[in-house]
Structure 1
Amino acid sequence: MNEEKETILLQGEDGTGIECEFGDRFVLDDENYVILIPYRDGLRDEDGILLMQTMKDDEDPDTEYLVALSDPEEINRVFSGYIQQKARAQHADGTCFEQSLKKAVQKD
């Protein structure tokens, strides 16, 4: 089965771009975040993910933009919160979070 992946092209201020696969969207402490999996040379980068906060445009509330998290303490807090949310949800519905996480980071 050839499953289409939702991708996004992130454009840096310097004009460089990086293609990313959409991983997940979640809310933590009333803030919205997304997890993106970058591609390098057309292949998933198995060693990294991007954790970004989504923000609404003040002038156009239908438009969102992404802000990269740069503070290591904030990154750890947000990612730990995400893992806890997923573990609780997986436990509640009887699936194994560890297996799901392992499957999510495996090569396509």
Structure 2
Amino acid sequence: MKGRFFKRAPLRITFLYLLFGGFWILFSNRFLEILQIYKDWFFVIITAFLLYGLLSKESKARSLLEKNLEREREVIKEQAELLDWATDAIIVEDLEDRILFWNKGAEKIYGWKK
């Protein structure tokens, strides 16, 4: 009986190798495909969270800048209204010598209209 076992051992080993190798090829490819799909989804989810974080930070910064800009516009408007109270001619020019603002005193002295 012992001799019979060893005579068929190469056939059994070859068969087990073939069986194990076939299952390895069959399931390892599917396992790697599933792993690849999860890896891809993991990448998409992580980058989506990062994108959300960056966009929300940008949105908050933009909102803060818009509030500051509106506040600055209100201050400039108040200052322009104060300049209208002055009886002297006040003229505001940019760096290219274009007139940006003149007050009521300048209107009276030079006859300009807004």
TM-score range, shorter chain: under 0.3
TM score, norm. by length of structure 1? 0.22
What TM-score comes out, normalization by structure 2 length?
0.21
* Structure holding more strand per residue: 1
Q: Which has the higher contact order (CA 8 A, sep 6+)?
A: 1
